Structure 1
Amino acid sequence: MSNFNIFLISIFLLSALFFTSSDGATFTIRNNCPYTVWAAASPGGGRRLDKGQTWELNVPAGTSMARIWGRTNCNFDGSGKGHCQTGDCGGILACQGWGVPPNTLAEYALNQFGNLDFYDISLVDGFNIPIEFSPTSGAKDKCRPLFCTADINGQCPKELKAPGGCNNPCTVFKTNKYCCTEGYGSCGPTEFSKFFKSRCSDAYSYPQDDPSSTFTCPGGTNYRVVFCPARSPHFPLEMALCRRTCNGNKDIFDHKHGFNYASPTSGGKDKCRPLLCTADINGQCPNQLKAPGGCNNPCTVFKTNEYCCTEGYGTCGPTEFSKFFKSRCSDAYSYPQDDPSSTFTCPGGTSYRVVFCPARYIRFGSFPLELSSRDR
């Protein structure tokens, strides 16, 4: 082979190496929580984010062992010194190292093997804030959003409870069973890791939970990290956390994801009312949403912000599909941000009943039919 050809090949290889590794990433960090979160990043520092605020972080190509997390209940002075109840990083606002557990982690390494970004949500340091970690640009069809939105703080096993969060068992017990300190294969799932995994299936639940918890995107992809994303499958987080202690000792209740009946049965029944969803939605379901035995929400089918509201509060609204549900079950949530017409309160201490196939409708053949108003 001639020296000239060798030279051309060398230039090609060097150029390929350069362009393969030159694309960093922009991380858009957003706080959707109803409380202030002090975002932290290593590398990157830290910033206070009130509800609805964002922070853009540009990270160079090749960065590895990096993480983003949220800190709660912080107090900093004018020089940026202070303390946080969860996620504290040496008592400073602009973090220079990692945070103290418990804290929910968004971890990543850019432009690694095959010019792939590796990213994950990790509960190996415990949980303090629900989180979304998603690609926002690049080949989004080749990678997917990750979520951990369960009420882990409220359901935390008593052995793992911590002020403001829920510890991983490694933090508490410090043994190989939970920490995997004796090498690969020396540990496995435990009752505690199964608690985390059953609630946040995308996330690392113990240090060697790699097969089900590490994801890749092509190098050059940008990302967002959202604290308290809109995807919570049950109550909005602030409602779940405040069920007995906020809003004047009121219970907050709604109904979603089904056709049933929720009703207060004791306490201040004169101050709250029953909720119903009894229409023949299965029989009238739009073709695009039909499913064996039921009728899907459009978010389940299309997985876009238009229907899922994944990009934060105010980024979505009623659609033709949500109006289909709302016109038939006016009490019910018809899309994720349908809060004003779909959330109800009772005085704390009220008891409730939930009835499947309540007496307000009858069945004719295989379809439930609402009774006419004169028959109610």
Structure 2
Amino acid sequence: MAENSYKPPEKMIKNVFDLNPWYFSKAYEEYLAFLHRLNDSVVGVHTTADMRCTDLVISFIDMLDKLEKWAEEIPLEDVSEQRFGNKAYRKFYEKLCKESPDLLASVLPENVHDALVELVPYFTESFGNATRIDYGSGHEANFLILLFCLQKLGVFTENDDKVLVLRIFNKYLRVCRHLQTRFKMEPAGSRGVHAIDDFQFAPFIFGSAQLIGSKSIVPDSYLKKNIVETHAHTSLFLDCVNFINQTKTGPFHEHSNQLWNISAVPHWKKVNSGMFKMYEGEVLKKFPVVQHMMFGSLFSFDRSEHPRESMEDAPSQDPMPPRAPAQHGMFAFKIPSAANTSTVHSSSVVESGDLRRLHSEKHPNEHCPPPMADA
């Protein structure tokens, strides 16, 4: 790429009529392909698996660690009467914006320093919004876009995909959790119990890929706290559920209803494919989220010459059946029939997991699955 071709990224999705050009843009096609490559690289791989980290990767992680230390050094303000938003976060964000060019320049090769004009805005937008003191899946997407741009520049290669997910993105996740808890950041555009999580989305995609093929942990397992605590270090998915368990109170089906529903999906491969469908529907195709996205020469709003079919329309190797009453959102699953299970009687039919009793205590505006046969 020519030296003078980089430009400060700008917002292009200014109204709902800009959504269609976004769906068919180079950025949409290439970003989704990038996420699929990252996803495929960690299928069946534990978070703690040995992997080679270059000096660049180590420096990148150290740089993220520095941000976490900044957050800890900034004294909090008194917000005794506020539920969300400690204004001390704005001091962190001000320091982040001021230091970001030097931070990135210190870890990136000199031959890509000309691209900092595009890279810095994605980096600073990755850690939340200072005006609203909030954080959400759109900010998370900015960090993934940053990694996408760095790979496009040749700083990272496809051989680094596994490391990008399980080392760099994993460290980013921990920095963001620290910011969320320390500064009481508000979820950006949260849909409450209808959202998969208040803040994150991507780790549920990558984490479900890590669990594909697992014989000891099935989707239903993450409803059990002891299993989650024991295995959280092996999968980003379980790690996120563990964080939810640590920060939320009350029955799981009430504070994380979507996750509760998804636990009835029979296997992780279907969970993973469903997560991609949900990510497109709940993040990439939601105007309140993508209106803040920025586009430049690396993440281009130009129309793709060969647009990739959306996950909604593309044929799948493991297609989901049409939605039926026992299916939820982007996920479809079959309910075992007690009539066809000779060992199951009415007294032994239980809910999937410990909390599946909502068919008799319906959650408002939610359709809960019928009883599952006890495995």
TM-score by length of 2: 0.26
Q: Would you tell me which structure has more helix in proportion to its own residues?
A: 2
Q: Would you tell me which structure has more strand in proportion to its own residues?
A: 1
TM-score by length of 1: 0.26
